[in-house]
Structure 1
Amino acid sequence: MEKLCEFLATLVFLGILFHGEMVSALRTKDGSEEWGYVQVRPKAHMFWWLYRSPYRVDSPSKPWPIILWLQGGPGSSGVGFGNFKEIGPLDANLKPRNFTWLRKADLLFVDNPVGTGYSFVEDSRLLVKTDKEAATDLTTLITKLFNSDHSLQKSPLFIVAESYGGKFAVTLGLSVTKAIQKRKLKLKLGGVVLGDSWISPEDFVFSWGPLLKDLSRLDDKGLQISNSIAERIKQQLKAGQFVNATNSWSELEYVISINSNSVDFYNFLLDSGSDSATVSRMKLKLFKEISMRRYSKHLTSTRYSPGVSGDLYSLLNGVITKKLKIIPEKIRWFEQSDNVFTNLEGDFMKPRIAEVDKLLALGVNVTVYNGQVDLICATKGTEAWLKKLKWAGLPNFLGKDRTPIFCGSDRKTKGFFKSYKNLNFYWILGAGHFVPTDQPCIALNMVGAITQSPAV
């Protein structure tokens, strides 16, 4: 009993809030970190983790920004991967990250949708089936966080997404804009940022074959097979057969892997490192259960080796769970939730170009960035869907010249930039799917420019 009283006293000291017996939020003594759960629907609980930047600069003309990071998958944990592998204050070995995005903004990580990472549902039937349902849950979370915290309301919120997270970002951007207009949400939306984002699956699957053929990674036969499956996907999407299109997408990945000797879909200059067991499962057509994230070389080196340096599974289920204190005992953290992916398979191949158009028409700042050597969301495919926009400013955007970008005093070209009104595009050289990891310096400079951070 004495230990329990001490524990409860500690929670009160740290500013814990209770709903029944559930701890909903906790913060560190210095207020630099806050985290907790929001019940976005009955029996559906979303986990969030906010870092307040030690580099904050208060400027009346340029308020300090907040970045909401949305991971892809769908079903990949931003609290785990985006935080410890890409942009958070510490890496997967709990060492300080030199190029953490905290240098330019506060960071809000969310395990989205529910069922991902630390987020959970008490009934599997409550998992979301569409991107819009995910956006509704996220809007509920953001409303509860921002409406109750005046300090958060002072900072513009930038929704920054990677991979499938881009589809969540554009649907969330529209949902948030609507909530703001109806005065249900107290925040200023700074913009939506789409990093290597799965906005138009059709354009990406048609880009894979020709791109890999030009790189000598596919031959004529491989190209022909790839293009034929891509054409099938196009017809399935046209007919509204979205689950079938998802199955064909998985088949196409398998065909490309076999004909390219396992090219890495996240960096086409590398092999994925697929082991024979993974390939065997793929041959059994269990494609959906094997996310590309599973057999990318970026991840497999630690994913299947618990206890080794940088292993996220051991880290998040060990020292991080102990630190957070409020993770239910029954919850086991996984980098990728197959249940979340499966429940979204009917939406997985649907495009979100129209949503980007709506954001642009509403005057929302939209930034797109793409890694040069990414395959899964190849630049070739991104440029293709951009040209399908109906936004009135598109001809002017396409007619603009690109500007080279650099890092500090290094005059080696790191990428290119083009902008017209509220549409911006960054081409990042030497980066694959995970731009902040592959090119941390230019990624940090880029996010500083996007957010107009007052940081020096």
Structure 2
Amino acid sequence: MKMVSMKNVCALLFLGVLCCISSVTPTGNISKGTADGSETWGYVEVRPGAQMFWWLYESPNKPNHTSKPWPTILWLQGGPGESGVAYGNFGEIGPLDADLKSRNSTWLQKADLLFVDSPVGVGFSYVEDRSLCAKTDLETTIDLMTLLKVIYDGNETTESRPFYIFGEHYGGKVALTLGLAILQATKTEELKLQLEGVALGNSWISPEDYVFSWGPLLKDVSRIDEVGLNQSNRFEKVYKILALKIQDQIAKEEYEYATDSFFSLLNVIYDRSNDVDLLNFLLDDRDDSSFMTTKVSKRLGNKHYAMVSETNSTDYDTLMDGPIRQKLKIIPSHVEWGEQSIYAFVAMEDDYLRPRISEVDELLSKGVTVTVYNGQLDVICATKGTEAWIKKLKWDGLSTYLNLRRTPIYYGEDKSTTKGFFKSYQNFAFYWILEAGHSVPVDQPFVSLEMVGNIMNTLNV
């Protein structure tokens, strides 16, 4: 495992760490921050006994020569069960990497960044009783709305800024329901946020379409072979039976049973592909050199769960419960980072296979910009599956969009190497990112940074 060096741990106590400002509200919510105001973090009690942790970075790159409001990005991690404050922040787009060194591809160059540990029970968020874990996407959304109302209540400066939600993997599902909730709350003036867009990065929007994409994709890229006609036919038969079973269970809204069938299908995929990394088909799941591992197996009671994980080989336990805990100074002594994450995942199993295509349609109809981006090498949310659910949209611009030609993407001034493709129509856009797996900001950091700038039109402010 990649460990955080003591040298970098000492470097951690980033500027301002020793001089923190704190405040406690009458409701028990607590917040702290650096003396210069560039970072704030805290807990919001979203329900009695349920505390959600957040961390907001103010960008040092805000230009002084423009009156254009500077945007804010809310990052929602996947799982459900993965920590945005850890993986999204230190692993992907925050100002420091997991070795606590400056990241020159941080998205702070384009926006302020708000990370949350959601749903409650993930990362530094916690519940006093496991029964308080959110059980659905909508419950998670309500908790996030409570948090946003606390953070932005009465803050006219932040309320007037463009607000974007970026969701990776399962975070994309919640990004959609949260986007709709924000629109409703701003309409009734319960919340003053200028929602401009929702971005779905390798997001788990239509499990049915992804399930049906795995076999064809893995055969096309030689992770599942054609050697032995009987073996091939047997794989195809088992795969098809399980995929159709999942499709039928989703159609009947039997989501708990569909989740069990889903894990059975995963076992078939692992067996026939020699343990392919679900987040990058070029790698093996057991390959410690991979940025990500794909299976976290736990046994709770009589059930076995395999949770798709976006964790890389970094020792996040040591990082988060060591120097980061020391910096934050508000993490309760009884809270161990990530300790409750598996319970947060299990609590939401009934919603795990629930599709969210109709929410994409609803956001589009309300004028919100929806951007989809997919890494070429991903399996769990394969591009083939993403393209399939997009074709199911009822959006009135779909036919025109599908018939448009893609535009190639390059990095900077270098036009010699294609980094991806892009296509957009009205308020919908799709980015195909080459040589990237499930986590595009990790595999193509500078291409994704340019993409973010394009999405928010902040490249030339």
**Aligned AA (2:45):** Q
Partner of 2:430: 425
Establish whether residue 91 from structure 1 lines up as the match of residue 97 from structure 2.
yes
- Whichever residue aligns with residue 290 of structure 1, its letter is A
Contact 2:296 2:308 in 1 (8 A): no
Rounded Cα–Cα distance in structure 2 between residues aligned with 1:286 and 1:271: 28
Q: 1:416 to 1:30 in 2, by over 3 A?
A: same
- In 1: Cα distance, 2:296 partner to 2:192 partner: 51
Rounded Cα–Cα distance in structure 1 between residues aligned with 2:94 and 2:297:
34
Normalising by the residue count of structure 1, what TM-score does the alignment of the two structures yield? 0.90
1:192 aligns with 2:198: yes
Partner residue of 1:5?
none
Amino acid of the structure 1 residue aligned with 2:267: Y
2:305 is aligned with 1:289: yes
Q: Is the 8 A contact 2:75 2:84 kept in 1?
A: yes
Aligned-pair CA distance for 1:61:
5.0
Q: Does 1:366 align with 2:379?
A: no
Give per-residue Cα distances to partners, 1:122-154, cap 9 Å, x unaligned: 222211111011111111111111123222113
- 1:318 is paired with a residue whose SS is helix
Q: How does 1:111-126 map to 2 (within 5 A)?
A: 111-126=117-132
Aligned counterparts, 1:376-387, within 5 A? 376-387=380-391
1:158 aligns to what? 164
Residue in structure 2 matching 1:245, options 258, 271, 275: 258
Q: In structure 1, which of residues 330, 333, 338 is the aligned counterpart of residue 337 of structure 2?
A: 333
Cα deviation, residue 280, structure 1: 12
CA distance in 2, matches of 1:181, 1:288: 43
Q: In 2, are the aligned partners of 1:46 and 1:110 still within 8 Å (CA)? A: yes
Deviates more, 1:366-375 or 1:20-29: 20-29
**SS in structure 2 opposite 1:27?**
strand
Report the counterpart of residue 235 of structure 2 in structure 1: 222
Equivalenced residues, count? 433
1:368 and 1:245, CA in 2 relative to 1: closer, same or farther beyond 3 A? same
2:295 and 2:308 in contact (8 A); partners too: no
CA distance in 2, matches of 1:178, 1:80: 30
The 3-state SS of whatever aligns with 2:458 is coil
Structure 2 unaligned spans of 5+ = 1-15, 226-231, 289-293
Deviation at 1:274, TM superposition (A): 6.7
Percent identity for Structure 1 against Structure 2: 53
Question: Following the alignment from structure 2 to structure 1, what is the Cα–Cα distance between the partners of residues 366 and 21?
Answer: 39
Q: Structure 1 residues 117, 155: closer, same or farther in 2, change over 3 A?
A: same
**Structure 1 counterpart of 2:182, which letter?**
V
Separation of aligned partners in 1, 2:98 and 2:349: 30
- The residue type equivalent to 2:32 in the other structure is L
* d(CA) in 2 for partners of 1:336, 1:43: 14
CA–CA distance in structure 2, aligned partners of residues 148 and 139 of structure 1: 15
Distance across 1 between alignment mates of 2:100 and 2:344: 28
Superposed CA offset, 1:12-33 (max 9, x none): x844222469560011011110
Query: Quick one: which of 273, 279, 288 aligns to 1:260?
Result: 273
Distance in 1 of aligned mates of 2:178 and 2:295: 36
Q: Corresponding residue for 1:6?
A: none
Determine if contact 1:247/1:288 at 8 Å carries over to the other structure.
no
- Tell me whether 1:67 sits opposite 2:108 in the alignment: no
Residues 354 and 207 of structure 1: CA distance in aligned 2, closer, same or farther (over 3 Å): same
Which of the residues 432, 436, 451 maps onto 2:456?
451
Measured against aligned partners, the alpha-carbon deviations of 1:305-330 in whole angstroms (never above 9, x if no partner) come to: xxxxx421100000100100000111
The answer on whether the counterparts of 1:159 and 1:173 sit within 8 Å (CA) in structure 2 is yes
List per-residue Cα deviations over 1:59-118 (Å, max 9, x = no partner).
655321100000000011000001011000001110111101011111000000111111
Assess if the C-alpha contact under 8 Å between 1:57 and 1:454 holds in 2: no
Contact 1:16 1:23 in 2 (8 A): no
Shift of 1:224: 3.1
Residue 272 of structure 2 aligns with an amino acid whose one-letter code is N
The alignment's TM-score, normalised by the length of structure 2, stands at 0.89
In structure 2, C-alpha distance between the alignment counterparts of 1:116 and 1:350, rounded to whole Å = 21
What is the CA-CA distance between 1:216 and the residue it aligns to? Answer: 1.9
Q: Distance in 2 between matches of 1:413 and 1:324?
A: 42
Question: Which amino acid in the other structure matches residue 245 of structure 1?
Answer: A
Distance 1:123 1:284, change over 3 A: closer
| 1:398 matched to 2:425 | no
- 1:184-241 deviations in Å (ceiling 9; x for gaps): 1111001000000000000000000111111221232333322221111011112221
Q: 1:4 maps to what in 2? A: none
CA contact (8 A) 2:295 2:306 kept: no
Give the match for residue 306 of structure 1. Answer: none
AA paired with 2:223? R
Tell me, in whole angstroms, the C-alpha distance in 1 between the residues paired with 2:103 and 2:460.
Answer: 17
